[in-house]
Homo-oligomer: A and B are copies of this chain.
Amino acid sequence: MAEEDAPLVLYVEDEPAVLELGVSALEEGGFRVASASTGAGAIRQLETPDAAFAALVTDIDLGDNSSGWEVARRARELFPDLPVVYVSGGSAHEWASRGVPGSVMLTKPFALAQLVVAVSNATLERPGPGG
């Protein structure tokens, strides 16, 4: 349903069932989605020369000994303005110390509307407090 050039979201999640639901909700909302199931795979996509993501959605506890905290940090090193939405069950309490500025935390289990709204908000261009 998403147009060819629609905004592209990178979705990182190691539970296939959760990933599938999330991806299909975002696609129904008109986003294109690239997915990764490991932190290493996500970082590889972020480091691809022509990468052009509109937002990053990342689970915290990824299978491969890596975490969404690391993925987001690397993403922001490469793209300082990239909107970040974290998704987690057990690690939400760590967000205040490990999240990046301006990010959003979605606690699992979440409603799909929350995901779509979080990504939509994050990708709208609005002036920050300083102009």
Contacts and interface: CB of A to CB of B under 8 A. Distances in A.
A91 to B, nearest CB: 12
Given A29-B113, A113-B31, A114-B124, A80 B101 contact: no
A16 interface: no
**Count of identical protomers in the assembly:** 6
B118 A118 contact: no
Interface string A1-42: 011111100000000000000000010111100000000000
A17 B124 CA distance: 22
Contacts of A129: 102, 121-122, 124, 126, 128
A48 interface: no
A10 to B, nearest CB: 13
Nearest to A112: B30
Contacts of A117: 113, 116-117, 120-121, 124
A80 to B, nearest CB: 4
Contact of A101 (B7, B77, B81, B102): B102
A93 interface: yes
A45 interface: no
A83 interface: yes
User: Top 7 nearest A-B pairs by Cβ distance?
Assistant: A102-B127, A128-B128, A29-B113, A30-B111, A76-B97, A83-B131, A117-B120
